[in-house]
Chains A and B, each alone.
Chain A
């Protein structure tokens, strides 16, 4: 197959399907021929050349080329092209889409230009929807008559070129399907490493031409009348995404992937029954990290553990509630409708604790900060923390939880101490340990 790249290719058009399916006089025929001429000029390996088409009459184009042909959903051609280019940057990827595709897939067009993904987009812009009967599109000129703008289009057309240029496209060109130099411009765009777009104005002889007495001359007049510039409108030399990604992450190659982090049993736990613990406090109160230490401490003591965290989507305000289950056996059900041990650390969480507080009975224990002790009514055994005697009052959650670990005899405090120190810088570990030591005085 190597000979392909060495001998001269005279056409990229399909030998099996030499005749396009387009209406007489349709601009799509001209533009596709220009694309073919550009490919012949570039002598690209057809196996390394991908034509991705959108929906609409233009969407039939890929089948008339002997290259890698990919026909996707309406408006989404750019997304497939991006995936192809990201996965294989050695491929030349050309997207053929209409003005309809620009409208429905506008977000993809903008983002492809912004990302500077190395694909070339040819907009077969015939100012209306041909395939579905001549409805208006995002490029229909103001006043243009279409099936859906009988009295003339009230909307203003999108300046595709200005839009993608502003978003950072590497190459932007506007012209018509009648431009003699279009093959050269397409070739230039294809050779541009980054994102390139050609807005190619065409005649839709089935609809826009008869509905608007349109012609080649009118096409140019309309473009000028709308104040739309033509020719090469932008050339930038910014890094192309697929290659930039590879360069950026090259040094990551071969690093360990999601390495396991085993937790060894080092202590023994006297716990007999599965124990469901809830730590309820406020955001910023280290509830979640303390709950993690509780679970981890249990695991150091040979227990099975689970942890579920609840917090508002705005993570730095409101309540923070963590549920930890500790058990000698593997834990299946992770719900905690009725906690065995509930620690209430601040008022933010109270409204969410109603059903759990109601469910608790004398066999269970509520641990509560003194300021909330009176207002909480429960059948559960109530223990009120007394922080007055604690030598330090920082990291309330840690001190309270450590006191609970001691009081309920969940597992040796040494396991909890180890859990709060694991992976922490020495200073933080030291502070945490002081908070744990303070737990001796609070119950």
Chain B
């Protein structure tokens, strides 16, 4: 059965089905429709939705609520991510489960408020000081908006980390007919709480790649949360061994689990030498281009990247088998192409990587991609 909805609706449904019970945000085009839905719907599930005085307050409230055990969501656009930056660092440092939607619009700065873009791709990767791994999912359809939002919540819980949903103005505000009955519901992962029977050490882990057990502010245990570099007790430290351990842990808890973080849709065609790699709204141009190309009797493989970060290297390597030409369409000047080139350069023979890039606020036409596919 079909409905006529937009991405904001699909993301809100995904968030609520994942158990989201706290939202704070600040109005910004084109992310506002998510806030409107969350503020309207959360009271129905006993949750809290609030409009902050600015973006910094909004993410700050989310972090505070998350540490009491809430499943939190916030949504903004690129200028808002700029303001979130320092707090995203704190969420990484303090290991806070948090889902952040970035509805990308044309940048830099205020840029084009109602203009589609994929210009935040590298911004999200290196969003805060220190240089740590980040998880970012990217929906290319309404079903993805719904399902990847649930995955984002689950990953945030599992890794106690901020998780991005990187989307764009068109995905959020264009309405589409869609068979919502086929949307995939994901089993929600709930936070692993520390046992109340044992002594609680806030950041104690067995292995570097483990995620520490959680105890809520206000629960049985006393917690110590800090934005500063800390030891496993949550006590501020400069001791090289403790600092080294924490830094390597923050990287390892994501890097060591890359297998669980690779989300792609690979559509290979036997005998194809061209692979198109795309994500988000641009993946839709790619799908149309591949459809047209195949209808003309030519061969082409496609790969939709649903998890931008960490880079799905294994899936990309596998997809490049037998490929001589990789086309990367994106609505920026080649930010993700850099990553694809890095993977391609490690292959022998090395495929040629071609970018198709638009930053004029228009979508990439399927014909522009078809023209690059060749024979």
Contacts and interface: CB of A to CB of B under 8 A. Distances in A.
A86 interface: yes
A83 B64 contact: yes
A69 B48 contact: no
A63 B235 contact: yes
A337 B285 CA distance: 13
Contact of A258 (B13, B24, B48, B174): B13
Contact of B225 (A66, A71, A305): A71
A145 B374 CA distance: 72
A262 B1 contact: yes
Contacts of A81: 64
A333 B60 CA distance: 38
Q: Secondary structure of the B side of the interface?
A: mixed
B93 to A, nearest CB: 10
Nearest to B233: A16
A111 B4 contact: no
B65 A84 contact: yes
A81 B64 CA distance: 6
Nearest to B17: A257
Contact of A69 (B53, B173, B223): B223
Contact of A331 (B1, B176, B227): B176
A225 interface: no
B22 A107 contact: no
Q: How large is the interface on B (under 10, 10 to 19, 20 to 34, 35 or more residues)?
A: 35 or more
Given A252-B44, A257-B44, A337-B365, A306 B65 contact: no
Contacts of B170: 308, 334
A50 B217 contact: yes
Nearest to B22: A87
Contact of B65 (A86, A256, A303, A307): A86
B68 A87 contact: yes
Contact of A306 (B9, B50, B174): B174
Interface in A102-140: 107-108, 110-111
Contacts of B67: 70, 80, 84
A423 interface: no
How many residues of A sit at the interface, in one of the four size bands? 35 or more
A306 B176 contact: yes
B360 to A, nearest CB: 11
A403 B199 CA distance: 75
Interface string A60-87: 1011001111111100101111111111
A88 interface: yes
B64 A245 contact: no
Given A81-B64, A334-B174, A334-B363, A313 B218 contact: no
A306 B87 CA distance: 37
B111 interface: no
Contact of B219 (A47, A80, A87): A47
B228 interface: yes
Interface string B208-246: 000000000111111111111000001110000000000
B252 interface: no
A385 B234 CA distance: 73
Contacts of A335: 285, 362-363, 365
Contacts of A349: none
Nearest to A256: B44
Interface in A327-349: 331-335, 337
Interface string B33-64: 00001000101111010101110110111111
A179 B1 CA distance: 70
B291 interface: yes
Contacts of A333: 284-285, 287-288, 363, 365-366
Contacts of B225: 69-71
Interface in A152-169: none
B177 interface: yes
A310 interface: yes
A310 B114 contact: yes
B122 interface: no
Interface string A333-368: 111010000000000000000000000000000000
Given A252-B43, A256-B44, A306-B175, 6 more contacts: A46-B222, A62-B226, A71-B228, A79-B61, A87-B68, A258-B41
Q: For the complex of A and B, list the 5 residue pairs with the smallest distance between their C-beta atoms, beginning with the closest.
A: A83-B64, A79-B60, A249-B43, A83-B61, A80-B64
Interface of B: 1-4, 9, 12-13, 16, 22, 24, 29, 37, 41, 43-46, 48, 50, 52-54, 56-57, 59-70, 86-87, 90, 113-114, 170, 173-177, 180, 217-228, 234-236, 281, 284-285, 287-288, 291, 362-363, 365-366
11 contacts: A68-B222, A69-B226, A70-B67, A71-B225, A82-B64, A91-B217, A108-B57, A262-B3, A263-B3, A263-B177, A295-B175
